[in-house]
Chains A and B, each alone.
Chain A
Amino acid sequence: MSSPTERHPTAGLDETVHQRVRLGILAILSEADKATFSYISEALDVTNGNLSAHVTVLASAGLVSVDKGFVGNRPRTWLRATAKGRATFRAEMAALSKLVARFQGTSQAP
């Protein structure tokens, strides 16, 4: 049982990243050095338009960086998690895990 003065895990959630696609983008980029826009859209099963909107939110918060380039003649958009993005992702996962553990604890209580 948590004490009344203990901070509730929801206080640790970040509204910018507490969303399936945005958290998914950071999850992929936290494991990799960089990933293309098309790899992420396929991996998360979202349309390019939808992904683009979420990337814009993350980029304007300084959580991902976007580099446009070419592989041969084909244009490629590479995404990278910034240091802030990686730290935010770790904090979000910790808060989310805590919250789920707390919920499971209460739901299993008699």
Chain B
Amino acid sequence: MALERSSDKQLLDSVESARRRTRSVLSTNWFPMILFGLLALVSVAVYQVWSWQAMAALWVVGAPIAGLATGFWYRSRANEIGISVNPIPYTITSIAIFVGCIALGIAGRGDALSYAGPVMVIGLGYVAFAVLDKSPLNAVFGAVIAAVGVAVLAIRPSHAYAVTMLLFGIGAVVLGLWNLLQSRRAR
């Protein structure tokens, strides 16, 4: 009897281990993290050198292209390694972030809401992605970005766009590189 129960414990442990390994393989997200992080950093340079219109155009054109590139990356990765997640919740979250950013950007009419609103939406979107990926680290990152958006809306500091996007861009690239390192180690 004791031997049977001990094998039940081994069975439970081996199943939990298979689940953890699968979760780890599926939570590889370095490509979109680095891509959108770099897009945010480039947008700061565009805003500083040219104008906010050029920066807005960069996001309107660049974000859907980066989104499509991310979709292709996940699809080719799934075919390569042989496992994939359901893409529908990720697609819905991505579209919600894009629409939310555009809507608040327009509704803000150049006021604080036009740059703080999208930052909050991006932060909340990353929390949603983190929940789908079961990644506490990314959830904290998303929550911090959303909180920064709220703070910017309340304080209205100068160079708010540059400060928030540098924070988001650097954070996303660092987390992406960390995820890349982790996924290489797991191989």
Contact = CB atoms under 8 A, between A and B. Distances in A.
What is the size category of the interface that chain B forms with chain A?
20 to 34
Contacts of A36: 82-83
Interface residues of A, number: 27
Given A71-B79, A99-B8, A33 B18 contact: no
B8 A100 contact: yes
Nearest to A42: B82
B5 A28 contact: no
A31 B12 contact: no
Interface in A14-34: 18, 20, 23-24, 27-28, 30-34
B15 A32 contact: no
B82 A38 contact: yes
B82 A96 contact: no
Nearest to B86: A33
Contacts of B87: 33
A103 B8 contact: yes
Contacts of A97: 12
B62 to A, nearest CB: 28
Interface string B1-22: 0100110110110111011011
A5 interface: no
B20 to A, nearest CB: 9
B51 interface: no
B4 to A, nearest CB: 9
B15 A34 contact: no
B18 A43 contact: yes
A100 B21 contact: no
B8 A33 contact: no
Contact of A34 (B6, B16, B19, B84): B84
10 closest cross-chain pairs (CB), A and B: A39-B82, A36-B82, A103-B5, A33-B86, A35-B83, A31-B22, A27-B18, A27-B15, A71-B79, A27-B19
Interface of A: 18, 20, 23-24, 27-28, 30-36, 38-39, 43-44, 71, 76, 93, 96-97, 99-100, 103-104, 107
